[in-house]
Amino acid sequence: MKTRVLYIYLFLLLSACSEKVETVSPIIESITESVYASGIIESIDQYQVFPSANGIITNIYVSEGDLINSKTTLFSIFNETSRISRENAELNAEYSDLKQNKSKINDLKLTIDLAKNKMLNDSLMLKRQRVLFEKEIIPETQLEQSELAYQNSKTNYLSAQLKLNDLQKQLKLSDKQSKNNLRISSQLERDFSVKSNSSGKVYSILKKKGEMVNTQTPIALIGDAKAFKIILAVDEYDIIKIKKGLKVIVSLDSYKGKSFEAVIDKIDPIMNERSKTFTVEAIFTKQPPTLYPNLSLEANIIIKTRQNVLTIPRKFFINDEYVQLKSGEKKFVKTGLKDFQKIEIISGLNKNDVLITPINE
């Protein structure tokens, strides 16, 4: 009785196994080799807006979804230090203004006139003293005193002229430097008004009024309102196959059951060491009607396509090199292009051969 039960069990097991064995014959069709990549949608000319200085947001002049022009004011930022620096620069510019320092120049010119008059008087006195000395009316010491007085007054006159030249140069330099500092301070204060770099759409405002911001933190996201591009991450093992101009088939989660075509437009030449991928950009040949930045997608980059070739499903292969015939023979075949479902047969099979799914040994 036990032996009979065992035979029945083996028969049922073999019958079940035989039902799982599939057969197939090679067929002639087209096959496409492609590289899979995941990615996102990004607006053309999309960029993050950064403030040029630290401060507190006092006003936000745009809303998410607004269409803007280049140089549109987006935010105003307040910084007390910048305001004080600008006021100090104004005071310094006013103090150093060349017109305001005319009195210093005039005072020195008056000193020069006095020194010149004294030098002329001392020169006349020296001439008289020399005549008197020649007539032996005055002693030599008195003549020497007159000569010394003249030399001193001459030195004072020349020194005053040099001081005037130095003062004029110094005042001109201070005037120019103070005005430059005022322009710099005013520009820095104007930098607290954040403007757009280009026309487009405000996709995101990342900070609120009253928040503290710095030059390292983005405060908004702006990009083209209508044109979008595809950003793909391609594995390092596949990047050598990718070339500009290759066709891309794109599937978007937002458009279930539909696919869109694009072409490779740009390949970044450096690998992301963390993800071991390269960034590849593609442009739609016909863009979907509605898109938003950061929509997720999957893509197949078409490497090669061949028409009228012999193919069989991949699941009938053993290590992508061998197949098992219905007769039980294990046969080596030479293969060509491969996609996710089938493989091209170059030699080793014909369309009359019957294959079975490989039996685990």
| Average of per-residue pLDDT values in the chain | 82
Range with lowest mean pLDDT among 10-14, 33-37, 180-184, 320-324: 10-14
Which pair of tokens denotes residue 150? 């003249």
- Residue 92 vs residues 80, 84, 86, 169, 206: alpha-carbon distances, Å: 18, 12, 10, 17, 39
Cα 48 versus chain centre, distance: 9
Which pair of tokens denotes residue 334? 């030479």
pLDDT tens digits, 300-350: 999 988 898 889 888 888 887 888 888 888 889 998 888 778 888 888 888
Residue 11: its pLDDT value, please?
A: 44
Q: Match domain 36-45+224-304 to its CATH number in 2.40.30.170, 1.10.1040.10, 1.10.10.10, 3.40.50.460.
A: 2.40.30.170
**Per-residue pLDDT averaged across 265-286, rounded?**
94
Domain ranges of the chain: 21-33+306-356, 36-45+224-304, 47-79+192-220, 84-190
Higher-confidence position of 75 and 6: 75
CATH code, residues 47-79+192-220: 2.40.50.100
**Per-residue pLDDT averaged across 192-219, rounded?**
90
With 0.75 as the threshold, say if the pTM is over it. no
Beta pairing class for 322-325 and 355-356: antiparallel
- Report the half-sphere exposure of 140 (CA within 13 A, side-chain side): 0
Residue 338: its pLDDT value, please?
A: 81
The CATH class of 21-33+306-356 is mainly beta
H-run or E-run covering 163: helix 140-190
